[in-house]
Amino acid sequence: MPTVLQIGRYRFYFFSGDRREPPHVHIKAGDKQAKFWLNPVTLAANYGFNARELNQLERMINQHHSELLEAWNEHFS
């Protein structure tokens, strides 16, 4: 479960077993978790984040999109 990005309390990571799924990133902060697809950036699952936090997470993903996608490709190649 490599962490690919840390912004404040938000940890962005992959599960090594997610190889067969399209590129995506998991985000965790405390007991809250979410999953976003990377192409296009879309919410896939949410466990506890409110709408404001989800919008903030989507902005962060868009700001770091190339870095996240590159990390995905490196990890799963």
Q: What pLDDT, in 10s, does the model give residues 65-77?
A: 999 999 999 998 8
Please tell me the pTM assigned to this model. 0.94
Average pLDDT of the chain?
Answer: 96
| pLDDT (average), residues 37-41 | 97
Q: Give, in order, the Cα–Cα distances in Å from 20 to each of 12, 17, 25, 54, 77.
A: 19, 8, 13, 25, 12
CA–CA separation, 8 and 42 (whole Å) = 21
> Domain range for residue 38?
3-76
Helix (H/G/I), strand (E/B), else coil: 26: strand
Helix (H) or strand (E) holding 15: none
Q: pLDDT value at position 16?
A: 86
Do 49 and 58 meet the contact criterion of CB atoms below 8 Å apart?
no
Q: pLDDT value at position 77?
A: 86
Do 18 and 75 meet the contact criterion of CB atoms below 8 Å apart?
no
How many domains, in total, are found in the chain?
1
